[in-house]
């Protein structure tokens, strides 16, 4: 099996290292010797984390996808401009594709997979979601006898690292973000990670595989973690919760929910214990019940593990040409965020004056929403107070109306923080 690689950064270098280190066991599993023939790179003189002495390096990526001897192309450069052109060219040349590029799949996966089916080549992407965790194979193969009810996961390590450090060390968001950048966990421009875009790409892929529908990245409700404060974390902890940035896909009566946002999770849940840069995905299905998939969501060899697993599948012909694991796709409505019903956490900063608590609870009563728990604490020299509230189940639209009513009141002192509470049972 002759392989060409596009990109020799962290993931590409990891793929070469793992293939070289584990070549004997991989050949025993497949009965085939994998030969790395050519790699497209930006600078052939750059020092790399892998040995490339037996691989031709080229600064022309189209030399890789047009190479007559190549059977499989590994697309590991990222983005969806040049990457899309290269993948299309490779498919049209009859080459199988393996990619770790969630942005490419989230934005163009539907059309690229249809093209791959037309050309009768495989298009695999296990490494695009949750790094080395084989969640795509679990959903598409291991759980194929089940009706999937929900998928919920920590699928961005950067956000999880930030929230973990904020909780464990009492640090504020900006401070931890700077450390994450210094450690290489966050990019110089961290927008995709901290505002949930990266997680939304990944969730759209997981939902399509779980429910047998097209990838619908544009319909994912997306909210980041940049507005989470130490006060939110402290109050959540006192109420028995941990704040996690979750991607949630759930089958409901009116269709499916697709959402990425900060979420309060009960400390009794396993996923609440997933800390640092680790990833975890919880799947609820009718036959198996609830299962949790945990592991490294990034890193050179962890991601390489998933890339090479796809390569082995192509060799062993274990995956079908069905799109996203389904012979036919279903048109399923994505529920509008306003209609989603959940429990919620609200944190208020209000004037600590006589009768303010009754005014706050009165607003909830006016909207027929029950308060489950309430904490009030004086927090500053101006005698303002934080009030943390958890609600009974209520629609997002209703709780947003409560938020607006509080913010319009004469006692309110700041924007009301609003966070979902998810019952992952």
Active site residues: 202
Burial of 144 (C-beta count, 10 Å sphere; 0-12/13-18/19+): exposed
Q: Are strands 371-378 and 384-391 parallel, antiparallel or unpaired?
A: antiparallel
Query: How would DSSP label each residue in 217-271?
Result: GGG-EE--STT--HHHHHHHHHTTEEEEEEEEEEEETTEEEEEEEEEEEETTSGG
Q: What crossing angle do the helices spanning 10-21 and 300-316 adopt, rounded to 10°? A: 60
DSSP character string of 193-225: HHTSHHHHHHHHHHHHHHHT----GGG-EE--S
| Contact present, 152 and 271 (Cβ < 8 Å) | yes
| DSSP assigned state of 17 | H
Alpha helices in 51-101 (DSSP H): 61-65, 82-92
CB of 222 within 8 A of CB of 198?
no
Is the torsion defined by CA of 311, 314, 316, 320 positive or negative?
A: positive
How far, rounded to the nearest angstrom, does the alpha carbon of residue 113 sit from its chain's CA centroid? 20
DSSP SS3 for 122: coil
Question: Which among 79, 30, 103, 11 has a CA at the least distance from the CA of 302?
Answer: 11
Distance CA 45, CA 395 (A): 57
Q: What are phi and psi of 241, to 5 degrees?
A: -125, 160
What is the bridge-based pairing of β-strands 2-6 and 394-395? Answer: unpaired
Q: In the chain, how long is the greatest CA-to-CA distance?
A: 80
């Amino acid at each position: 099996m002759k392989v060409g690689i596009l990109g020799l950064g962290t993931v590409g270098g990891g793929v070469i290292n793992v293939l070289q280190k584990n070549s004997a066991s991989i050949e025993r599993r497949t009965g085939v010797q994998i030969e790395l023939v050519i790699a497209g790179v930006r600078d052939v003189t750059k020092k790399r984390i892998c040995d490339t002495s037996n691989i031709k390096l080229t600064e022309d990526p189209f030399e890789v996808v047009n190479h007559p001897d190549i059977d499989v192309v590994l697309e590991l450069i990222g983005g969806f401009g040049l990457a899309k052109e290269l993948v299309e060219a490779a498919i049209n040349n009859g080459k199988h594709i393996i990619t770790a590029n969630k942005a490419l799949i989230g934005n163009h996966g539907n059309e690229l997979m249809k093209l791959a089916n037309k050309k009768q080549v495989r298009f695999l992407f296990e490494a695009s979601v949750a790094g080395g965790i084989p969640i795509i194979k679990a959903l598409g193969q291991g759980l194929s006898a089940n009706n999937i009810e929900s998928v919920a996961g920590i699928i961005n390590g950067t956000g999880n690292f930030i929230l973990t450090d904020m909780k464990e060390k009492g640090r504020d968001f900006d401070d931890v973000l700077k450390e994450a950048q210094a450690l290489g966990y966050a990019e110089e421009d961290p927008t995709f990670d901290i505002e949930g875009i990266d997680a939304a790409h990944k969730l759209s892929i997981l939902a399509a595989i779980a429910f047998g529908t097209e990838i619908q990245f544009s319909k994912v409700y997306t909210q980041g973690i940049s507005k989470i404060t130490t006060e939110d974390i402290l109050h959540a902890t006192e109420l028995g919760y941990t704040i996690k940035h979750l991607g949630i896909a759930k089958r409901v009566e009116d269709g499916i929910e697709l959402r990425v946002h900060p979420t309060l999770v009960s400390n009794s849940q396993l996923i609440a214990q997933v800390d640092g840069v680790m990833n975890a995905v919880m799947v609820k299905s009718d036959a198996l019940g609830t299962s949790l998939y945990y592991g490294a969501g990034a890193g050179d060899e962890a991601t390489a593990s998933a890339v090479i697993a796809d390569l082995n599948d192509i060799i062993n012909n274990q995956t079908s040409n069905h799109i996203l694991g389904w012979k036919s796709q279903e048109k399923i409505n994505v529920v509008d965020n306003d209609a989603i019903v959940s429990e919620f956490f609200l944190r208020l900063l209000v004037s600590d004056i006589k009768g303010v608590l009754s005014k706050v609870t009165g607003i909830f009563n006016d909207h027929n929403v029950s308060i489950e728990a309430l904490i009030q604490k004086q927090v500053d020299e101006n005698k303002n107070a934080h009030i943390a509230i958890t609600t009974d189940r209520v629609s997002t639209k209703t709780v947003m109306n409560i938020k607006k009513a509080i913010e319009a009141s004469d006692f309110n002192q700041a924007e009301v923080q609003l966070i979902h509470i998810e019952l992952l049972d």
